[in-house]
Amino acid sequence: MKSDTNAKLAVFSDSHGQTGLMERAFAKISKHISAAVHLGDNAADAFVLARACALTPFYLVSGNCDPFRARALINNKDNRDIQDELVFEISGVKLFITHGHRYSVKRGYDGLMAKAASLGARVCMFGHTHEPELFRHNGCLFVNPGSISLPRGGLGPSYAILDIYGPGAGADIAEASVEASIIERVNGVFRILCSL
């Protein structure tokens, strides 16, 4: 991690076994990135990204399509299962990451917002809906990068770039198939790809 108070994170989710776009997108931006995040579905895909960013801190959580067996086979260095959620700090900013399925994000964000508030998180990252979303609520930035492989809502494959600067944070959604294009906030109907 860079030692200054600014950090830039690449955030991916819902790759579902298709890692090509994720690898190409990360290769294009890697020299500007302080850390990488994968928000689940599929956790095994996250290790493709982890290898690509060998010198970059890497954070991941499991999703609803990550079966117990896969989570048990793909361990972190402490030999524990990949967690459903993770809380950590970067440059003094507390981040909360989760896939989102345990908070029913396809039906709304109340549970997720309550959890982020209870943790005192300044940034909450989640996936599961396959639709990109950026919003602020009670001082917390919520970031859903969409899906890097199976997008919904009429947009292409996407990922997020999270910027942490001093005590604050901002994010952009980038469409993976069109270099450097930014997608605006999307409000759409959520469809279920896989369920618990």
3-state secondary structure 5-52: CEEEEEEECCCCCCCHHHHHHHHHHHHHCCEEEECCCCHHHHHHHHHH
CA distances from 143 to 79, 126, 151 (A): 29, 6, 15
Question: Domain extents for the chain?
Answer: 6-175
pLDDT > 60? residue 196: no
pLDDT > 50? residue 189: no
79-127 confidence digits (pLDDT tens): 446 789 999 999 999 999 999 999 999 999 999 999 999 999 999 999 9
List CB contacts of 183: < 8 A, sequence separation 6 or more. Answer: 132, 146, 155, 158, 173, 174, 175
Segment holding 117, helix H or strand E: helix 110-119
- Residue 132 — pLDDT band, cuts 50, 70, 90? very high
CA distances from 62 to 66, 79, 126, 129, 132 (A): 6, 15, 11, 14, 18
Report the CATH fold assignment for 6-175.
Purple Acid Phosphatase; chain A, domain 2 (3.60.21)
